[in-house]
Structure 1
Amino acid sequence: MVLKLARAGMGWSQVDLAKVARLSPRTLRGIENGEVDPRCSTFEKLRNVLKHHHVAIWKDDNGRLGVVVGRS
């Protein structure tokens, strides 16, 4: 869900993010739907794209996840 929120905050479709992260749209869809547990290399690709586009994801003390999309 957090990945979907980050992507939406960037105004990107699944195809957009998959292309930039060099993943298949099917893989990204599976990750977002919780059907696929990404490999470390896949997670790193996504993390690098989000970081490059100034997206921060965190978990608070109560386990709630948050997303902040900064300006490029």
Structure 2
Amino acid sequence: MKAYEFTPKVTNEGKLNCTEEILKQLPPNQELKVIVLVNELTKLEEDEAAERDDWHDLAAEQFFADYNEEDAIYDDV
């Protein structure tokens, strides 16, 4: 049994996006065994990402809190 390693992306339709170059390497008309490995965030990475998102939301909220009609002149620049 041969092994081929490649890193396709999952499309919005839920399909694996393989390049033609990869498909040419695979044997035609043969059944394949596919093993999918997915990177998972650790609990700490998830917490850090959530905290980062919270800070970004707060920064945007504070930035736009002082926005008024006089600032609209910069919208067309």
TM-score (norm 2): 0.21
Of structures 1 and 2, the larger Rg is shown by 2
Considering fraction of residues, name the structure with more strand.
Answer: 1
TM-score (norm 1): 0.21
